[in-house]
Amino acid sequence: MTLYLVLLLPFVGALGAGLLRATARNVEAWLAGVVALSCAGILATYYPDMAAGRVVQVAVDWLPQYGLTFGLRLDGYAWMFAMLVTVIGALVVVYARYYMSPADPVPRFFSFLLAFMGSMLGVVLSGNLIQLVMFWELTSFTSFVLIAYWYHRTDARAGARMALTVTAAGGMCLLAGVLMMGHIAGSYDLDRVLAAADTIRAHALYPWLLTLVLLGAFTKSAQFPFHFWLPRAMAAPTPVSSYLHSATMVKAGVFLLARLWPILSGTDLWFAIVCSAGLASLLVGAYAATFQRDMKGVLAYSTISHLGLITLLLGMNSTLALVAAVFHMLNHATFKASLFMAAGIVDHETGTRDLKRLGGLYHAMPITATLAMVAAAAMAGVPLLNGFLSKEMFFAETIFAGEALWLRILLPATAILAGMFSVAYSARFIRQVFFGTAPGELPRTPHEPTRWMLLPSATLVLLCLLVGMLPGRTIGPVLDLATRAILNGERMPVYSLKVWHGLNMPLLMSAAAFIGGLAIHAWLTRLGHPEGVLTPLFRRFDGKRAFSILQVRLTRGATRLVNGISSTRLQTQLALIVVAVIAAASVATLGQLKVDLMTELAQIDPAFALLWVVGAACAIGAALQAKFHRLAALIMVGCAGLVTSLTFAWFSAPDLALTQVSVEVVTTVLLLLGLRWMPKRLAMELRNRDTMRARVRRVRDATLAIVAGLGMAMLAYVVLTQPAGPGIRDFIVKNALPGGGGHNIVNVILVDFRGFDTFGEITVLGIVALTIYKLLRRFRPAPEVMTSSAQKRDPARELPDPRDPVPKGVMLVPAIIGRLLLPMAGVVSVFFLLRGHNAPGGGFVGGLVMATGFIAQYLVNGTLWVESRLRIHPQYWIAGGLLCAAGAGCLAWFASLPFMSAIVWEPKLPLLGKLHLSSVLVFDLGVYLLVVGTTTLMLIALAHQSLRSHRRPAEAEEMTSVRMVR
């Protein structure tokens, strides 16, 4: 279980560091350092297990229904990598403590860094493939935030975006590949997938899954042609480059290739793809590194090249090459991290990383220079250093890798060529920074940095030396147990980690690379390291350019597509919707229509027909008048609503009729209140009413409307003339009384059968009311309605005085009647509420009636008069209603029943006899309260706008005077 700590500690640390104050400077560094070292310490205690070849596994259920566990699996290889991550992590933390400027938000940096460490450990220790991909994506994300750490810089943002796009897209491919692998193996568990290696390689999907997995690995490890993101990621702070973009994260790709090596390798396809990608990256990286101006640029391309070397080794399908690859992963991490640190020190102390401006720093900072020289020598492959050993192994492998003759020539030749460039850029890196003289003034006077900044770099260089001189004693056992773990029981190759193997072919190749590299360096120095002379060769293959072009094309294409198939204009959008609906409905309706006109005509009830003559006339009238005669149109729509309500009553739906009538009242009041805020519109104002376009549009819309109406009528008729299916009505009708305890089936459905639905619905009502309230608080009325209308300026028509007991003037009689109305409305509403369960009525209707009573007060007495006497506080009604309804639902829990079950209590009381009390009444009371609150909140908020515009002119004047004083 302590293994979980290794994964957990970094994330906990990240959270802790993130919570620290931005000015804390030492605490977070200590925190990060302690976390990294404790993880390394815990891992170190597992060494005996690893040395004995055991695999430590822990797992808890994650998604058991998919057979997924959240498991950690520590074997030799994972152990080696986890140690690499934590040890270099600890060194980077020390380095970063002195590198980062106090002006930066350092806790954030350490928080991200620790989160990355955790993610990387997650990748390394994952026991199943899905979990691995999850942590893989997390490393992409943490890398993104770390590259964009100085987010005020454009290059940092662009670099971070590019890195995320490339690596996360690769991660998606990897996920697809892993899913296929799991599908074939029948499990995502690493052990079971490893066991199914032969099945996977023989499966028809193997080429696909291999390609997808390789896409994931190559994007992560910056392999050609996806290498372009890595140089742009150098915009990150140098500790990040040193940690993520050389030592650990970019190694995740090759880590995975090695991890899956027993499963995927061994085929010609593997050899072809992996080797060519590795070879191309090796060469392109080394070549491009030679021509960089930026110190970090040189190191970034060199990283691409070295990762290419590892990839190439992994592609060779030989166990010996695998050993070399693992060995080089370690070696590269040590010397490259230390070189990045040196580059950071130079940048930190001189203020520039430009190779053209630097020079002669050996005298100012001899220790840094010495450390950088040793590390660069390791990078170039100088004997007695660790880079030499793995490079020798690499050279040896190239000779024997291919069977075809051209491969046996091509591979060693390319290896020597890449080796030459590697020597050339290493030599240049050292010579131009530390020797010669600087061409001009440096931004800062250079001097040796603090010892603590040198310590991490020195530690790594010491490791380079130790491994280089005593490989068998130092790295030998670790390499052995790591490779053994990868091979998973396969026969280990025989190799010897000696410095001197005698005079053999690889040594000759090394010598050739050295001489050639120094020659290239001398030649380029004589030319003054021209830029853009040879690199144009590569501009055509520049992945960054392809990436940008792709990005721009995609964006443009998407914009064009959106413009092509949609419109920003509401009318067009709505017309499209209507057309689509008509098309869909006509498929269902056409050919089903049979009208027997004679029997239909005989059945017609003249009263009903007359009712609908009125209804149709109102609807059509409203449609025609809505533009210029809003009030008339509104009245006609109200009329149409009444006709609808009567229709409901006609066809046995008294509840609907009641609700429709009460809603009609409040809707009309609402729209009346809104009318005030519309602009004036007179028919003669519009000169262009009869232009050609307008006429065409009207004809189009009329056609659409008629087609829609006809279609709807047809659809309704087709349905109505067919017998109804069985549905669930039998069940509901049978259970309404015994189960729901109510005689009014509609109400029983609302508060009992579908109580949860109603609960959601009243919540929506409350939200809408609050939204309206909030929207109106920020409301800015149109300028011309700010001034009072002609009617309001009429001196005979005064606003009611709030102090009067009854309003004077024309409103006297309505006010008296309205006041008598309120208690009656209250009684009626409660009556509807209480009887709702057994007869037409219920919470909705009751609430609307009560709200109407309140609104009538506002209408006849005026807002000021009412509010000086009666504060309704609709918010409390809404809250109370929701609590009531939810409480009624929760009551069921006390009877160990599910939420919203009805609880019935039938006590026998003296005098009153047997009572029927049910929790649904409480629920309906909630509905009632909420409907009252919602309706009054909306309408009062609207009514208050008129008050505001009264006050506005005065306030506006005040504002202007204040501004003028200022």
Ranges within 814-853 binding another protein (CB under 8 A): 838-840, 844
CB of 799 to another protein, least distance (A): 22
Applying the rule CB under 8 A, the residues between 498 and 537 that interact with another protein are none
CB of 865 to another protein, least distance (A): 24
SS3 labels along 592-617: CCCCCHHHHHHHCCHHHHHHHHHHHH
By CB under 8 A, name the one of 650, 756, 876, 893 that touches another protein.
650
Residue 626 interacting with another protein (CB under 8 A): yes
**Amino acid making up residue 468:** G
Residue 339 interacting with another protein (CB under 8 A): no
Per the CB < 8 A criterion, the answer to whether 171 and 140 are in contact is yes
CB of 829 to another protein, least distance (A): 15
Per the CB < 8 A criterion, the answer to whether 245 and 231 are in contact is no
Report angle CA 214, 216, 219 to the nearest 5 degrees.
100
Tokens 């990150």 belong to which residue? 236
SS3 labels along 63-110: EHHHCEEEEEEECHHHHHHHHHHHHHHHHHHHHHHHHCCCCCCHHHHH
Give me the 430-469 binding string for another protein, x by CB under 8 A, dash otherwise: ----------------------------------------
Task: Choose one: 205-213, 293-301, 518-526, 608-616; the region binding another protein (CB under 8 A).
Answer: 608-616
> Which residues, other chains included, contact 193 with Cβ-Cβ below 8 Å and sequence gap of 6+?
129, 181, 182, 185, 187, 200, 263
Environment class of residue 303 by beta-carbon count within 10 Å: exposed (0-12), middle (13-18) or buried (19+)?
buried
Among 463, 478, 470, 483, which residue's Cα sits nearest to residue 46? 478
CB of 780 to another protein, least distance (A): 4
Applying the rule CB under 8 A, the residues between 922 and 941 that interact with another protein are 931, 934-935, 938
Closest CB to another protein among residues 705, 917? 705
Among 461, 483, 474, which residue's Cα sits nearest to residue 379? 461
- How many residues sit close enough to another protein to count as binding (CB under 8 A)? 118
CB of 667 to another protein, least distance (A): 6
Residue 38 interacting with another protein (CB under 8 A): no
Closest CB to another protein among residues 431, 754? 754
Residue 733 interacting with another protein (CB under 8 A): yes
Closest CB to another protein among residues 518, 707? 707
By CB under 8 A, name the one of 494, 609, 790, 911 that touches another protein.
609
By CB under 8 A, name the one of 268, 403, 685, 730 that touches another protein.
730
What's the token pair of residue 618? Answer: 């109102």
CB of 911 to another protein, least distance (A): 23
What's the token pair of residue 288? Answer: 């491009």
**Amino acid making up residue 497:** L
Give the integer Cα–Cα distance in Å for 114 and 11.
Answer: 7
**Amino acid making up residue 728:** I
> Which residues, other chains included, contact 311 with Cβ-Cβ below 8 Å and sequence gap of 6+?
218, 221, 223, 253, 254, 257, 274, 277, 278, 281
Residue 570 interacting with another protein (CB under 8 A): yes
Q: Is the dihedral of CA 691, 692, 696, 699 positive or negative?
A: positive
CB of 848 to another protein, least distance (A): 8
Task: Choose one: 437-445, 469-477, 719-727, 869-877; the region binding another protein (CB under 8 A).
Answer: 719-727
The single-letter DSSP state of residue 203 is S
Applying the rule CB under 8 A, the residues between 736 and 795 that interact with another protein are 736-737, 743-746, 749-750, 754, 757-758, 761, 764-765, 768-769, 771-772, 775-776, 778-783
Residue 559 interacting with another protein (CB under 8 A): no
By CB under 8 A, name the one of 2, 721, 787, 788 that touches another protein.
721
Classify 128 in phi/psi space as left (phi over 0), alpha (psi -120 to 50) or beta.
Answer: beta
By CB under 8 A, name the one of 574, 584, 895, 915 that touches another protein.
574
Applying the rule CB under 8 A, the residues between 117 and 176 that interact with another protein are none
Residue 409 interacting with another protein (CB under 8 A): no
Give the integer Cα–Cα distance in Å for 676 and 680.
Answer: 10
Strand, helix or coil at 451?
Answer: helix
Residue 859 interacting with another protein (CB under 8 A): no
Report the chain's terminal Cα–Cα distance, integer Å: 69
Q: Torsion angle, CA of 672/673/679/681, rounded to 10 degrees?
A: 10
Strand, helix or coil at 58?
Answer: strand
Per the CB < 8 A criterion, the answer to whether 925 and 933 are in contact is no
Residue 946 interacting with another protein (CB under 8 A): no
CB of 741 to another protein, least distance (A): 11
Among 707, 513, 582, 547, which residue's Cα sits nearest to residue 162? 547
CB of 559 to another protein, least distance (A): 19
Residue 693 interacting with another protein (CB under 8 A): yes
Among 870, 812, 824, 889, which residue's Cα sits nearest to residue 850? 824
Tokens 């030319």 belong to which residue? 527
Closest CB to another protein among residues 137, 924? 924
Residue 916 interacting with another protein (CB under 8 A): no
Closest CB to another protein among residues 17, 619? 619
CB of 562 to another protein, least distance (A): 17
The single-letter DSSP state of residue 59 is E
Applying the rule CB under 8 A, the residues between 388 and 407 that interact with another protein are none
Applying the rule CB under 8 A, the residues between 656 and 685 that interact with another protein are 656, 659-660, 663, 666-667, 670-671, 674, 677-679, 681
Among 855, 796, 807, 847, which residue's Cα sits nearest to residue 826? 847
What's the token pair of residue 710? Answer: 């006809």
By CB under 8 A, name the one of 519, 694, 810, 812 that touches another protein.
694
Closest CB to another protein among residues 535, 945? 945
Host H or E run for residue 904: strand 904-905
Per the CB < 8 A criterion, the answer to whether 100 and 109 are in contact is yes
CB of 574 to another protein, least distance (A): 6
CB of 853 to another protein, least distance (A): 17
Among 865, 853, 850, 862, which residue's Cα sits nearest to residue 821? 853
Closest CB to another protein among residues 400, 612? 612
What Cα–Cα distance (Å) separates residue 42 from each residue in 5, 126, 279, 482, 668?
8, 17, 38, 18, 74
Among 728, 716, 862, 743, which residue's Cα sits nearest to residue 803? 862
> Which residues face 914 on adjacent strands?
908
Closest CB to another protein among residues 554, 584? 584
Residue 470 interacting with another protein (CB under 8 A): no
**Amino acid making up residue 236:** A
Closest CB to another protein among residues 294, 761? 761
The single-letter DSSP state of residue 685 is G
Residue 338 interacting with another protein (CB under 8 A): no
DSSP string, 151-164: TTSHHHHHHHHHHH
CB of 617 to another protein, least distance (A): 9
Residue 575 interacting with another protein (CB under 8 A): yes
Residue 734 interacting with another protein (CB under 8 A): yes
Closest CB to another protein among residues 67, 781? 781
Closest CB to another protein among residues 426, 934? 934
Closest CB to another protein among residues 473, 729? 729
Task: Choose one: 229-237, 291-299, 315-323, 699-707; the region binding another protein (CB under 8 A).
Answer: 699-707
Task: Choose one: 15-23, 393-401, 537-545, 638-646; the region binding another protein (CB under 8 A).
Answer: 638-646
Task: Choose one: 107-115, 169-177, 371-379, 603-611; the region binding another protein (CB under 8 A).
Answer: 603-611
Task: Choose one: 478-486, 524-532, 645-653, 798-806; the region binding another protein (CB under 8 A).
Answer: 645-653
